[in-house]
Structures are given as structure tokens and as C-alpha cells.
């Protein structure tokens, strides 16, 4: 009994320390954003009420959501057919695909953006007068920089691969595909109506992780000279520190809500047992 009590106290202490580790910084940030503790600050919610009317908020958030949508589509469009094909037709290549997808983990974001910026500076001079010149220009369009989509896709590959691979391991993919094919379903129909529904949780988790990465990524966008949401938050922190913290808190709350919604949506409903 005494040993059980000690175990319970130990777990409680660990949970308390973990909660303080996460909650104390959040509480300090919220108190700063509402003006508590500042000798020259008035207490109020002005930092929160002025978010939507702040200069650059709508444009930066819109750009980030566009980039996130394109990145999610590209990541899923690359990985889902590749992983399904490898598991069904070429299982020996699974290790090679895993290495290729996890390789971006060893490349720091600074090194990645340094290489990208070098190519972007070198390309227009050497491809002037060729169709590749227009491609290089289109990649850097300020309205929708495709170069950021490509960079974010590389950065998201390790997390996306691990999530999708775990989802595929939880289903008997070969049996599902063979059953669908034996019923006369084409390969596109099999993928759309058989494979993807069974990967709903993995697909949602992959989309959420990719969205979180794009929302919080700063280094690549800042070095390349673009201003998505994360760069905008840092840009206004010098003149509107309270608002920058308030935006971060709202973004954190929105991320938690989205995570809970995805978790609830991806949870498979069990059929009710009949007595």
C-alpha cells in the first residue's frame, strides 16, 4: 500500500511539473498581452480586439492558408500513391523510400534556404531567354510563391511519411485492394473508395501536421523575403509587442481546437452492441 501511495505521489508530481512547464509560459504570455504587470500598460483586451483590423493580418494569413493547402495537396499527392505502390508492388524499396523521406530531418532549415536562394539567384542569369526563365520567375511570384510550397513539402515529408506509414500498417492493404479489384473496381476507384477511407485518420493527422508546420515556419520565408503569418507576427513584435503575443495565443488556441476536431473526426465509430 505504501509503495502504491509513493507511485501515485510520483505520478502526481510529474504531471504537476509537466503542467507548470506548459501552462506557466502561456499564463505569462496572456498576462502580458492584456497588460497585467506592466507599469505603463493599461489592462484590457485591446491587443485581441485589434487583431483582425491590423495591417497585414488578413493578407499574411490568407497567403499562409493558400500555401498550407497547396503543401497538403502536394504532400498527400506524392506520398499516398508512392507508399501504396511500394507496399503492393515493390516492398523491397520500402527502406529506400523511408530514407529518402526522412532525409530532410538532417538538413537544417537555414541550410535548405541557403541552397534555395543560391539557385534562385543563379537561375535567371543562366536561363535568360529560355522557358526555364519564366519558370524561375513563376516560382518566386509574390502573390503565391511556389518555391515556399516546394520547401515546405520537403520539410513536411518526414512527419507525413511516418504518419501515413503507421496508418497503412494498421490496415491489410493487400486484402482490401485485391477484394476491390476482384469486384471490378479500377485502380483510381480502388484508391478513392477503398484505400483512402481506411486511411482517414492518417490523412487528417498528416494534413494537421503539415498545416502546423506551415503556420509556424519562419526561417525559409523570412530569408527569401516573403511575409506569411509567422513572419508577420515577428515583424509587428517590435512596434506592437502585445498584439504579436495575442496573435500567438489565438493561433495556439486555434491549433488546439483544430487538433481536437481532427481527433474526433478521425476516430472510428464503433457499432453499438445489440443485446
Predicted TM-score (pTM) of this structure? 0.84
| pLDDT at residue 9 in the model | 73
* pLDDT tens series, the chain, 275 aa: 555 566 667 788 888 888 888 888 888 888 888 877 655 556 777 788 888 888 888 899 999 999 999 999 999 999 999 999 998 888 888 899 999 999 988 888 888 888 888 888 887 777 777 777 888 888 888 889 999 999 999 999 999 999 999 988 888 888 888 888 888 888 888 888 888 888 888 899 999 999 999 998 999 999 998 999 999 998 888 778 888 888 888 888 888 888 788 777 756 544 444 43
How much is the pLDDT for 220?
Answer: 92
Please state, for a pLDDT cut of 90, what percent of the chain lies above it.
Answer: 26
Q: How many CB atoms lie within 10 A of CB 223?
A: 16
The set of residues, in sequence order, having a beta carbon less than 8 Å from that of 31 and lying 6+ positions away, is 37
Q: How far is CA 34 from CA 45, 47, 49, 73, 117, in A?
A: 6, 7, 11, 38, 39
Angle at 49 between CA 63 and CA 56, to 5 degrees: 25
Helix ranges, 34-145 (H): 46-49, 57-89, 94-102, 109-126, 131-139
- As given in the structure block, the three cell numbers for residue 231 are 513572419
The predicted structure's pLDDT at residue 274: 42
pLDDT tens digit sequence for 119-128 = 888 877 777 7
pLDDT at 271: 44
**Cell numbers that stand for 113 in this block:** 534556404
Cβ burial of 275 (10 Å; 0-12, 13-18, 19+) is exposed
| CATH C-level class of 55-264 | mainly alpha
Q: In the prediction, which pLDDT does 275 show?
A: 39
Whether the CB-CB separation of 256 and 241 falls below 8 Å is answered with no
Helix axes 200-216, 146-169, angle to 10 degrees: 150
Closest C-alpha to 251, from 41, 29, 100, 32:
29
Amino acid at each position: 500500500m505504501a509503495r502504491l501511495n509513493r507511485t501515485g505521489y510520483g505520478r502526481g508530481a510529474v504531471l504537476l511539473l509537466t503542467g507548470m512547464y506548459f501552462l506557466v509560459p502561456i499564463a505569462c504570455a496572456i498576462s502580458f498581452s492584456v497588460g497585467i504587470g506592466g507599469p505603463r500598460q493599461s489592462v484590457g483586451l485591446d491587443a485581441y480586439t485589434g487583431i483582425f483590423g491590423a495591417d497585414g493580418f488578413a493578407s499574411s494569413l490568407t497567403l499562409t492558408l493558400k500555401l498550407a493547402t497547396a503543401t497538403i495537396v502536394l504532400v498527400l499527392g506524392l506520398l499516398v500513391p508512392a507508399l501504396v505502390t511500394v507496399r503492393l508492388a515493390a516492398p523491397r524499396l520500402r527502406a529506400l523510400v523511408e530514407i529518402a523521406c526522412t532525409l530532410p530531418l538532417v538538413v537544417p532549415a537555414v541550410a535548405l534556404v541557403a541552397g534555395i536562394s543560391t539557385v534562385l539567384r543563379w537561375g535567371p542569369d543562366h536561363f535568360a531567354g529560355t522557358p526555364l526563365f519564366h519558370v524561375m520567375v513563376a516560382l518566386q511570384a509574390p502573390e503565391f510563391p511556389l518555391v515556399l510550397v516546394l520547401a515546405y513539402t520537403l520539410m513536411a515529408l518526414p512527419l507525413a511519411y511516418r504518419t501515413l506509414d503507421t496508418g497503412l500498417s494498421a490496415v491489410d492493404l493487400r486484402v482490401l485492394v485485391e477484394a476491390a479489384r476482384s469486384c471490378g473496381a479500377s485502380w483510381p476507384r480502388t484508391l478513392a473508395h477503398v484505400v483512402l477511407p481506411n486511411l482517414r485518420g492518417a490523412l487528417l493527422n498528416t494534413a494537421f501536421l503539415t498545416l502546423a508546420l506551415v503556420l509556424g515556419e519562419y526561417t525559409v520565408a523570412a530569408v527569401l523575403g516573403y511575409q506569411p503569418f509567422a513572419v508577420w507576427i515577428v515583424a509587428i513584435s517590435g512596434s506592437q509587442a502585445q498584439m504579436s503575443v495575442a496573435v500567438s495565443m489565438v493561433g495556439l488556441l486555434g491549433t488546439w481546437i483544430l487538433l481536437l476536431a481532427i481527433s474526433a473526426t478521425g476516430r472510428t465509430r464503433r457499432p453499438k452492441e445489440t443485446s
